[in-house]
Amino acid sequence: MRLALKFIAAYLAILILSSPGAFAEGAFVQQATGAYQGRHVALPVAPNPMSAAGAPNWTAPRTGNLRAAPEMAAPASGGNYAGTLEIGAYNKVFQGQFGAGNISNVGIIKGYANSVGVLQAGNNLKSNVALINTQGLSVGVIQPNGSAPVNVLIARLPNGALLIKR
């Protein structure tokens, strides 16, 4: 008897959760621009809430606006790339790029409470910053137009020494 009551309760819960009024809106954020903007798609037929007679009212399909996900839209960055790899805790990275064709990579591996800032103000600038096994360091890279590429490795060695390789 107890098993039958549990089965009936589970069955009713499934019926209630799968009712037409239980559908939620998707988590997709409508912010993509570019070539995918403005495409339309027909939504499937779905019943409206029940009428007074107790039967659902069926309606014809309607058209909705379907846009691409932000990561699928064409970037408006002027060909800039900023990559960040953070393995650790409480690290902060800021990468600002003004111009076109700039590349910036920041990697923090086994780091704790580090801050890295990269500011590139020009065209075709390149910078690579790596912090390994560091704690509480603040590193800033400022590259004006026409400056040489910046490649910096800062690592805390097992004996406690700090290696700074440029």
135 with 159, same domain: the answer is yes
Residue 136: closest CA among 150, 154, 153? 154
56 with 124, same domain: the answer is no
Q: Is the pTM of this model over 0.75?
A: no
Task: Please report whether residue 35 resides in a domain.
Answer: yes
140 or 62, higher pLDDT: 140
Query: Does the structure show a pLDDT above 90 at 11?
Result: no
Q: Which domain holds residue 59?
A: 28-74
Residue 122 to residue 67: CA distance in whole angstroms: 33
pLDDT in tens, 102-129: 999 999 999 999 999 999 999 999 999 9
69 with 99, same domain: the answer is no
Bridge partners (DSSP) listed for residue 143: 120
Give the pLDDT mean for 9-17. 58
Task: Please report whether residue 23 resides in a domain.
Answer: no
Banded model confidence at residue 52, pLDDT cuts 50, 70, 90: low
Query: Does the structure show a pLDDT above 80 at 81?
Result: yes
**Percent of the chain, pLDDT > 90?**
51
Task: Please report whether residue 58 resides in a domain.
Answer: yes
Under a CB-based contact definition with an 8 Å cutoff, are residues 137 and 162 in contact? no
Task: Please report whether residue 12 resides in a domain.
Answer: no
Task: Please report whether residue 113 resides in a domain.
Answer: yes
Residue 87 to residue 85: CA distance in whole angstroms: 7
Residue 108 to residue 111: CA distance in whole angstroms: 6
Domain count within the chain: 2
Query: Does the structure show a pLDDT above 90 at 35?
Result: no
- At residue 25, φ and ψ (nearest 5 deg) are -75, 150
59 with 125, same domain: the answer is no
92 with 151, same domain: the answer is yes
Please name the helix (run of DSSP H) or strand (run of DSSP E) that holds residue 147, with its range, or none: none
| pLDDT reported for residue 46 | 52
Give the pLDDT mean for 160-166. 91
| Cβ partners under 8 Å of residue 34, min gap 6 | 68, 73, 74
149 with 130, same domain: the answer is yes
89 with 70, same domain: the answer is no
